[in-house]
Structure 1
């Protein structure tokens, strides 16, 4: 029988599972919600056991939808947000919240409680910062770990297992203490290109000299797709899979998406630097690959082997993209709950308004950094700006602000792209995956505002496809990850930019740069 693969992708509010063939075809996918606890704008927590239960529900549902014999499943791999799971020496959950409830043992990726710690790490000027864009984000694990050791000393004293979420899921599945090269290089300051990967002097400088002990970290990282072991009896029962299933090293969700859309170019590594992956949903991750390290200011990385072996990853992003559009809907007088139906109604009206004038609301300009600027300024304290507001509280007024926010999001991607090209990339092709593919305005803008040819894989889920590639490698279906990525690549549909709109977006881009400069001047006065 042809072998099957199970891929799991855990996002901010749900876990998704897919049943995938060894050629990359998606037979079925299923989703299960996960709990998210917020404490103000900067703190967010998960219950890791709740996440595991959601994973099991999604896997069982996907298998049922595919009408697949579980005995055919050869491998499984997990990708997840870079959320931080905290456990004690026996593997029991430890509380990260102020109320001491151990069920809430996970600091969510978008949590910004560690802004001060991120700034302190940046102030060290340590050479490790050269592999993270010159600064650490509070969304990374090192600042979160610094915060935990200082603000939860009793929890830190008891800690014995601390995981990136993707590694935690592998641990739950097969009991492995291995950690992914994707998670460690991009979130834990691990230098995979060096013989001594852990920068002990840096960890000591930021108060984490005992990190390896407290987190149960291995000396070396495991490459993506390495076989870590087989399912434990308990995990096999919960997932509805046989114990023969091989668990492969997983990765950060954005890296899985990058692998899903860029991995097919692994056969031509010297030209892979023309391609940019945009994994876009609540936030956006922009990832590029090259055969040599190409550091760029405000761009995370370069990370060695974080997506494909032998290649360096540069990663930019927007902490709020889809979330910025949701916020605009939520706070406007004519807004409502930012549901898919609300977005669709606004988009339909914008399409109608643009039939009257394609240059809609030209005096309205948005700086959409409502949750900080991830790239290229690496400033988690940055705030958004709306310039050109009137007293228009109508639905059409909301539509104009929504449209200009969408323009600003696309121009922000252009800014990251130009930063990467200035560092040696030659990007002219953008591969978009995630929730933004369902927003026809954004898909149009990503081509027109950046000047890139935009590719979309309409029938594939890039994160699940990337994890399936890792699972296929771990199960031994292909000799290596690059081979799996090339063999499982899915066809895409291309959209070329409308060059007649270039001058308009060039003007808007100049305004965006001016808003950034003015914001910096105002901040300096405070």
Structure 2
């Protein structure tokens, strides 16, 4: 048996997976999120650990016999979070998360201090990444910075609590802006640009390698017969790719979660910094991936649902399963700034084209379409980088909406496959990585086949043409609309 643990932005989820890849049990517990100022996003790392223990206790209570046979644990988590530890592993301040935009000025300072940064990392230095966050702490909280002994990513803080080891994997480390992504090692020039050294970094492993074993007290607590190995694991998107089987070159998935991701697996390091494409290591050795990332996917719909005082599923259900034509309104989904393709922490969202006849349904549809147009931006710059995306699996909470997937397929003009499996998310991918580490698999990709396709959502040809025109308008309005409040 194998356990997968995913540290999500809003909850921690753990799953039990059998050797044949079937899921036998799962548990999830929420974690609170703090926004102390506009554009800021923080969490207390102890909340991650408490939720992890709650999920594992729940699995042990529900399936004690299966938990007893666990031999491998895999970890996944939201990327880029700056978890700062002092002496005796004391957490120095709340972790600054992936969707925190405070460090825009520090990005430019890092690139000025290390002009080769984009060549080393294959990425623009963005406010969401870990390095600029630590640079912000260095400038604004110098007393905290001076006490830093280790910088860990969210899942790696959980690893420390599980095993006592300071370790990370290549896919998660690639999102720090301290990794030489092509060479898969820490970059001394980039560390120096933020006043850090390798001594303050965790050891690096491939996602399929064992980094340590579960502490004895925890083994007893969770009812395991022997201490399982803990795998390097992966950042949440690479872990989701392992769960959906997107490990071969060209395999792709689209994730409609809090944020949105268009992910493609690559056989080689393939950056495109001009389009703000993320080029990271994959969780498997000698494999990389590209991502287009948008910061507010289902977050946009949930924001609108709060605004109008109605549940998001009720709003989307009112549209039916398909729409006949584009909404007369247009929505810019930049509620937290944007990454791909704009790299613009200052961008803001909004509605355009409203009039006296605009209805709640018009605005709901506009929100779904605006997020889909942001995904089309990601597809465009991936194609500019020479990456062909012929089709993709659709995953994440938003993929449960038939009308949203229908809109997405038509906007992208690509078929979207929906899995028949009950769960192919990051926790499941983490469990597969735990299996690879526990078994020492020589071909870990063989443990990660794609799931059966339940159904495929095809583009509506008439709608695809109408959306192509609408997308051109969306792109043309970006510069004026996303910064209208700055004027």
Q: What is the TM-score of this pair, normalised by structure 2?
A: 0.92
Task: Give yes or no for the alignment of 1:321 onto 2:289.
Answer: no
1:475 to 438, 443, 462: 438
Q: Provide the rounded CA distance (Å) in 1 between the counterparts of 2:42 and 2:484.
A: 33
Alignment of 1:186-201 (within 5 A): 186-194=175-183, 197-201=185-189
Alignment of 1:73-472 (within 5 A): 73-82=70-79, 83-95=81-93, 105-124=94-113, 126-130=115-119, 134-194=123-183, 197-204=185-192, 206=193, 208-213=194-199, 215-218=200-203, 221-263=204-246, 266=248, 272-273=249-250, 275-296=251-272, 297-303=274-280, 305-331=281-307, 335-336=308-309, 342-351=311-320, 354=323, 358-359=324-325, 361-362=327-328, 364-391=329-356, 397-458=359-420, 459-472=422-435
What is the Cα deviation at residue 519 of structure 1? Answer: 4.2
1:358-379 Cα deviation digits (max 9, x unpaired): 22533x1122112112101111
Alignment-derived partner of residue 101 in structure 1: none
Q: Provide the rounded CA distance (Å) in 2 between the counterparts of 1:343 and 1:521.
A: 27
Q: Provide the rounded CA distance (Å) in 2 between the counterparts of 1:310 and 1:381.
A: 36
Contact 1:167 1:250 in 2 (8 A): no
Q: Provide the rounded CA distance (Å) in 2 between the counterparts of 1:116 and 1:449.
A: 34
1:233-285 Cα deviation digits (max 9, x unpaired): 2332444434421111111111111222244x53xxxxx32x32222211112
Q: Provide the rounded CA distance (Å) in 2 between the counterparts of 1:408 and 1:133.
A: 28
Alignment-derived partner of residue 26 in structure 1: 23
Match of 2:4, SS? strand
What is the Cα deviation at residue 58 of structure 1? Answer: 0.8
Contact 2:74 2:431 in 1 (8 A): yes
Match of 1:475, SS? helix
Contact 1:126 1:202 in 2 (8 A): no
Task: Give yes or no for the alignment of 1:490 onto 2:451.
Answer: yes
Alignment-derived partner of residue 13 in structure 2: 16
Q: Quick check: 128-137 or 8-17, which moved more?
A: 128-137
Q: Provide the rounded CA distance (Å) in 1 between the counterparts of 2:411 and 2:121.
A: 27
Q: Provide the rounded CA distance (Å) in 2 between the counterparts of 1:390 and 1:122.
A: 44
Contact 2:35 2:41 in 1 (8 A): yes
Q: Provide the rounded CA distance (Å) in 1 between the counterparts of 2:259 and 2:197.
A: 29
Q: Provide the rounded CA distance (Å) in 2 between the counterparts of 1:350 and 1:130.
A: 46
What is the Cα deviation at residue 137 of structure 1? Answer: 1.8
How many pairs does the alignment contain? Answer: 483
Task: Give yes or no for the alignment of 1:506 onto 2:468.
Answer: yes
Contact 1:284 1:319 in 2 (8 A): yes
Kindly tell me: are residues 361 and 445 of structure 1, through their superposed partners in 2, closer, same or farther at Cα, counting changes over 3 Å?
A: closer
Kindly tell me: are residues 62 and 442 of structure 1, through their superposed partners in 2, closer, same or farther at Cα, counting changes over 3 Å?
A: farther
Contact 2:337 2:345 in 1 (8 A): yes
Q: Provide the rounded CA distance (Å) in 1 between the counterparts of 2:219 and 2:90.
A: 20
Q: Provide the rounded CA distance (Å) in 1 between the counterparts of 2:109 and 2:155.
A: 27
Contact 2:293 2:339 in 1 (8 A): yes
Q: Provide the rounded CA distance (Å) in 1 between the counterparts of 2:407 and 2:113.
A: 39
